[in-house]
Amino acid sequence: MLKHIISGYKIMNKTISLKKVEYGYVLFFAAALLLLAGMILMAKPVGAATFNSINSRLGVGSSGSNVTNLQTFLASDHNIYPEGRITGYYGGLTRAAVMQFQVNYGISMVGVVGPITLAKMNNVINAGYGIDVYAPSIYNISVQKTNNSATFNWATTESARGKVYYSTSPFAVSEAVGNFSAPFITGGSTMMAAFSQLNQNVSVNNLQSNTTYYYIIEVIDASGNVAVTVQSTFATN
């Protein structure tokens, strides 16, 4: 009898120990999942950059937190501010970096952060992508067509909003006249995508059947960089 009691106690004790172990594993994995979820929520989107806004006009001799914010922002692009010195004082190196920023963004190269440069810098900062002077690349272009409609599909290397130009006649296209501006495309109709994203599709209706159409795709990213495709054609059914 005593043997059976001892044996039963051992089995019960072992069962309790196993339950404790299992419970411990559950707690461990639950904590790990919560930690992972927190890290995902706190993570920034790929390519995102955070900088403080610049709240005043600046020039040689300026100092303080706004100059620090300016230098931190400029130093994010080695081609604009290769020295990357964050001193809080606006000297010759900072002036040269501001001038390079102005060249890249099509602003008069005056070397001071006046109202136009200040507005542009804060627009770039608020867009969340840092200094960006590169247009998106457009790829994976396809056209699905019926007898009276067409759907244009494409992808871009960064989030961008798209527009499709289409016409039964070739377009007249002339070069852009400044940085970040689109070329002049004359003739035809346009249809704009609803959102800025990596993968786009735009549908057009009321097309003529058995007709060749010319089209151009134009995209613009959050920093105002514009890219266009070469003029191409498709035929409705």
- Every domain of the chain and the residues it spans: 1-43, 65-127, 138-235
CA distances from 10 to 6, 14, 223 (A): 6, 6, 71
CA angle 233, 235, 237 (to 5 degrees): 165
pLDDT band at 12 (very low <50, low <70, confident <90, very high): low
What's the mean pLDDT in 158-172?
Answer: 95
Helix (H), strand (E) at residue 93: helix 92-104
What's the mean pLDDT in 57-73?
Answer: 95
138-235 folds as Immunoglobulin-like (2.60.40)
Burial class (CB in 10 A: 0-12, 13-18, 19+), 11: exposed
Q: What is the CATH number of domain 65-127?
A: 1.10.101
pLDDT band at 77 (very low <50, low <70, confident <90, very high): confident
pLDDT band at 5 (very low <50, low <70, confident <90, very high): very low
Dist. CA 87–CA 24, nearest whole Å: 52
pLDDT digits 0-9 by tens, 25-37: 545 555 555 554 4
Dist. CA 158–CA 127, nearest whole Å: 13
pLDDT of the residue at 40: 37
Do 105 and 120 meet the contact criterion of CB atoms below 8 Å apart? yes
pLDDT of the residue at 201: 94
pLDDT of the residue at 18: 46
The overall average pLDDT reported for the chain is 83
Is the alpha carbon torsion for 233, 152, 136, 125 positive or negative?
Answer: positive
Predicted model pTM: 0.62
Dist. CA 154–CA 139, nearest whole Å: 6
Token digits for 229? 């495709």
pLDDT band at 66 (very low <50, low <70, confident <90, very high): very high
Do 112 and 59 meet the contact criterion of CB atoms below 8 Å apart? yes
